[in-house]
């Protein structure tokens, strides 16, 4: 083989190797971002599905609570736990990943208010918790002003006069008319969601419902 032919063969081989290297680099530059985007879509889709389940559970619990179902009873709580079994809702402290908080909040006249009274407080009348009662952070967005005591039906003792029964931030979510009552369900679930940078970093899922 002449030197010119050998030179051309060598040049063609080098060119093909360079083209293969460029193609591999282009493939990596295209595929890697696409894989990241697909992974992000999977994570977001999974979390959106959980969000929908938690919101539906909150609405179901609130519908029962507002219609007078005795949610303090074991049978009613077991039914709600069945509804939330896909999210690992279980009864008892330390069990499961979720907590349902049911609150009856009423607008009542301030103590010793002269008639006609124009000053009202939003107070907690009843609060029932269902699920893992060891969950505290994030479980309710409507804490009372202080520690209150409950009777056997989970109703607050002396809620019309006890200043600790006031829910000070409730009016920022719902403006109650004087003497009106709102039934609130809050669902909070701890999750093991995959963290994907700024796309997914929340430690739990929260939903609320008002009647």
Spatial separation of the C-alpha atoms in residues 200 and 155, rounded to whole Å: 38
Spatial separation of the C-alpha atoms in residues 86 and 143, rounded to whole Å: 28
Spatial separation of the C-alpha atoms in residues 156 and 105, rounded to whole Å: 11
Using DSSP, state whether 199 is helix, strand or coil: coil
Token digits of residue 80: 């709600």
Do the domain assignments include residue 84?
Answer: yes
pTM score above 0.85: no
Do the domain assignments include residue 169?
Answer: yes
Structural domain span for residue 97: 49-210
Cβ contacts of 137 within 8 Å, gap of 6 or more: none
State the pLDDT at residue 58. Answer: 97
Do the domain assignments include residue 6?
Answer: no
Do the domain assignments include residue 42?
Answer: no
| Count of domains observed in the chain | 1
Do the domain assignments include residue 34?
Answer: no
Mean pLDDT across the stretch 40-55? 69
Do the domain assignments include residue 30?
Answer: no
Q: Find, among 161, 164, 206, 162, the residue nearest to 184 by Cα.
A: 206
pLDDT per residue over 76-114, tens digit each?
999 999 999 989 999 988 899 999 999 999 999 999 999
pLDDT per residue over 157-173, tens digit each?
999 999 999 999 999 99
Do the domain assignments include residue 22?
Answer: no
State the pLDDT at residue 19. Answer: 53
Do the domain assignments include residue 78?
Answer: yes
């Amino acid at each position: 083989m002449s030197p010119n032919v050998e030179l051309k063969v060598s040049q063609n081989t080098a060119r093909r190797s360079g083209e293969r290297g460029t193609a591999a680099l282009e493939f990596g530059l295209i595929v890697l971002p696409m894989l990241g985007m697909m992974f992000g879509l999977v994570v977001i889709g999974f979390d959106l599905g959980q969000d929908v389940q938690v919101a539906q559970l909150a609405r179901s619990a609130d519908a029962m609570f507002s219609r007078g179902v005795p949610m303090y009873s074991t049978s009613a709580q077991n039914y709600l736990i069945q509804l939330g079994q896909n999210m690992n809702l279980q009864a008892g402290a330390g069990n499961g990943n979720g907590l349902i908080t049911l609150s009856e909040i009423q607008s009542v006249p301030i103590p010793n208010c002269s008639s006609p009274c124009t000053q009202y407080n939003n107070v907690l009348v009843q609060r029932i918790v269902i699920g893992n009662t060891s969950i505290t952070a994030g479980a309710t967005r409507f804490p009372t002003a202080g520690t209150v005591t409950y009777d056997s039906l989970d109703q607050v003792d002396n809620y019309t006069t006890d200043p600790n029964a006031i829910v000070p931030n409730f009016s920022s979510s719902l403006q109650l008319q004087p003497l009106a009552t709102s039934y609130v369900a809050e669902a909070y679930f701890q999750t093991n969601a995959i963290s994907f940078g700024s796309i997914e970093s929340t430690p739990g899922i929260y939903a609320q419902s008002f009647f």
